Amino acid sequence: MEKRLSVIRAARLAGVTRAELQSLIKGGQLASFDGLVEVDDLLRLYPETRLADDRTLERVEQIKAEALGKDIAGRSLPDPQVLAQRLARLGTQLTRTRQQAEHYAAVLESLETRLRALEKSQDAETRAVVQDIKHTVQSALHERRVLSYAAGSGLDGGSWWMSVLAPQVRLVPDDHEFLVEGADTILEAALRAGLSIGYGCSNGNCGECKARIVSGEVRDVRPHDFVISETERAEGYALLCSVAPVTDLVIEVGVARKPEQIPVQNIDAKVREIVRPGPHVLVLKVQTPRTRRLRFLGGQYARLQMGEDAVEALVPLANCPCDDRNLAFHITENREDPFAVHCFEQLRKGATVRVEAPFGTFVIEHEIERPLVFIACDAGFGPVKSLIEHVIALDRVEAMHLIWVASGAVGHYEDNLCRSWEDALDHFHYRPIRVNAASDVDSWAATLAGSLERIQDPGLPSYYVAGPERFTDAVRELLGRLGVSNAQCRYQALPPRPVARGHDGGDAIAG
């Protein structure tokens, strides 16, 4: 029987993205059987794939980590007890496989003895049939042995090795898949994969991440105060923030796809760092308590309040939802805005920032079927950066285009980051556009139109536009002239429009 792998595991073994394999499946170059691909087909398309080489397992994650500036060294190996259980289970599987192989070997030896006897005692016609059977069996065995040597190990070894280092989790009923690598809990791995499952404290106290393990085995790796009843344990319930997989899993848990599925949260965070990437822009980095992490979708925004005068503003989040403690906000200098003045002149490390979030519908839902085009102006890059990092975590898009229009005052203050995305990620295209003033529409409209026209079939992608309201209105008009329907576009005007306190986050923003 030929070995089949899930798309996510096949992609990791080949060192490519899921989106690349899905594109091959869609184009007919790679066959798929109920979401699985043949190992032989994978080796045909990627002959250098080594099924038991753990370096290929980390290749895509390393590319993503380099692009996003994340440290994955601290999560290279699972918890020792979890690893011991996985290895013990692997040993059991290997023992059973060896016993089965020995049984098959004995059957083949008996068959060969019987065929030799027939070959000596029967007529010429029977001997020809017997010899044909022997030749067919020997050729099949030789071909399988050569293929195993070429791959560097037995075919099943690659899958088993991955199951030890990175068990696969499938969430039902939404049918999302991800791998749990290193010492991550299931919750941490889901967030790294860009999936917003329900959780609260992420510390084993609230019980909001409780879910039912439909199949597979888990082990507690973090202590928790929330009590799961014996009845629930018998039914397979566990806290996803406190367990790691021993085997591949199927888990019954919902995934938030829309803003209205995530409640508004109020958190007192601390200023961790204030970075000045340019003279007229700062990146405000705040950190939430370990027990109060912010759950949100890429592209959403927050109401920030700080200082004795309680100055406040609506500011887009500029980081991936997978980093739910370390929040980033891009703020441009504005002498007429008390909040901006406070941030540039008075705010210091360690200050308390009241965060009320998330708000806004400038998000990407998980069913991504089209190429994505991001168009940002000045600090509109903040919410666009959040979206891009979320997409990178999801690892599902075939192509991304980023067009960043920047005025002379603000500039492309994270140009190196954008270029690192282009260098590290296949099918990512970055085009910076500099203009004299962000408000001078005529100075950038023609250049922007030229960049958009370079995109093959401009009516196919989904468009995400963020920047000053005059900018988003002008881009809306420009896209309309290019034949792009409004249904394919989402807009985030800056500053965001005011929302009522306690709003559930499902407001429509400029689109």
506, part of any domain: no
502, part of any domain: no
Residue 137 has pLDDT above 50, yes or no: yes
In terms of DSSP bridges, do strands 36-38 and 176-179 run parallel, antiparallel, or are they unpaired? unpaired
pLDDT in tens, 78-107: 777 777 776 777 677 677 777 777 788 788
Region of poorest pLDDT, from 67-76, 335-344, 387-396: 67-76
* Residue 348 belongs to domain with CATH number: 2.40.30.10
**Helix and strand element counts for the chain (H, E):** 14, 20
Q: Are 478 and 452 in contact (CB under 8 A)?
A: yes
pLDDT in tens, 210-258: 999 999 999 999 989 999 999 999 999 999 999 999 989 999 999 998 9
399, part of any domain: yes
Same domain for 341 and 246? no
What is the pLDDT, as a whole number, of residue 503? 43
Same domain for 377 and 480? yes
* Residue 379 belongs to domain with CATH number: 3.40.50.80
510, part of any domain: no
Same domain for 5 and 87? yes
As a whole number of angstroms, the distance between CA 444 and CA 442 comes to 6
Q: Tokens 């999801």 identify what position?
A: 394
Same domain for 209 and 294? no
User: What share of the chain has pLDDT > 70, as a percent?
Assistant: 82
Structure pTM?
0.77
367, part of any domain: no
Q: Which two tokens stand for residue 337?
A: 């805005």
* Residue 181 belongs to domain with CATH number: 3.10.20.30
Same domain for 66 and 140? yes
What is the pLDDT, as a whole number, of residue 1? 36
Q: Last residue of a domain, which of 252, 271, 299?
A: 252
505, part of any domain: no
Same domain for 286 and 317? yes
Q: Are 346 and 329 in contact (CB under 8 A)?
A: no
Same domain for 234 and 304? no
Q: How many domains does the chain have?
A: 4
211, part of any domain: yes
Domain coverage including residue 79: 1-162
Residue 441 has pLDDT above 70, yes or no: no
pLDDT in tens, 306-340: 988 899 999 999 999 999 999 999 999 999 999 99
- For 433-460, the DSSP string reads EEES-TT-HHHHHHHHHHHHHTSSSTTS
504, part of any domain: no
Same domain for 26 and 146? yes
- Identify the three-state secondary structure at position 356: strand
As a whole number of angstroms, the distance between CA 201 and CA 224 comes to 11
Instruction: Show the CA angle centred on residue 8, arms to residues 3 and 11, nearest 5°.
Output: 80
Same domain for 5 and 123? yes
